[in-house]
Structure 1
Amino acid sequence: MGNDWIKVRTFTQNIEAEIVKQMLEENGVNAVLLNKQDSSYLFGKIELYVKQSDETIANVLINSSTFTEEDDAN
């Protein structure tokens, strides 16, 4: 990833991260997940990145969804 990507959310559940990523892509927002979870013990975070130019629309879409329970805003 280049310098034009920004982290918009972190998750602890992979399925939730994948659902949000898919929702963004269905609305024309390119999104990338960076999984920092340990494969054996499933601790760590999954980070969701979008291009800086899509940050506002990504946050609007995520905040208006009913299925996200993000760990934090960044």
Structure 2
Amino acid sequence: MAKWHKVYATDSPVRAEIVKGVLAEKGITAVILNKKESVYHIHGSYEIMASDDQVLEAINIITHEITF
């Protein structure tokens, strides 16, 4: 069973989906973990998680290939 690690965090659900989509295009399995407070959506963030064996590649792609 793979362990998951945070590779990116944002307050924007749109940016989270974009990062997840780019990673998926590159063959990296990623999931979005919604850590927003459920009632008012004021606190928290959306975290992109990748498995152990893909963390370094995911961070490299996010750092060098995705700009907002």
TM-score range, shorter chain: 0.7 to 0.9
- SS for the counterpart of 1:6 is strand
Residue in 1 that maps onto 2:45:
45
Taking only aligned residues, the RMSD between alpha carbons, in angstroms, comes to 1.4
Instruction: State whether structure 2 residue 34 is matched by structure 1 residue 66.
Output: no
Distance 2:35 2:18 in 1: 17
Distance 1:53 1:3 in 2: 8
Structural mapping, 1:13-52, within 5 Å: 13-43=12-42, 44-52=44-52
Residue in 1 that maps onto 2:56:
56
In structure 2, list runs of 5 or more residues that go unmatched.
Answer: none
* Residue identity in the other structure for 1:11: T
TM-score under structure 2 length normalisation: 0.85
TM-score under structure 1 length normalisation: 0.79
In structure 1, list runs of 5 or more residues that go unmatched.
Answer: 68-74
Sequence identity (%): 36
Instruction: State whether structure 2 residue 23 is matched by structure 1 residue 11.
Output: no
Structure with a larger share of its residues in helix: 2
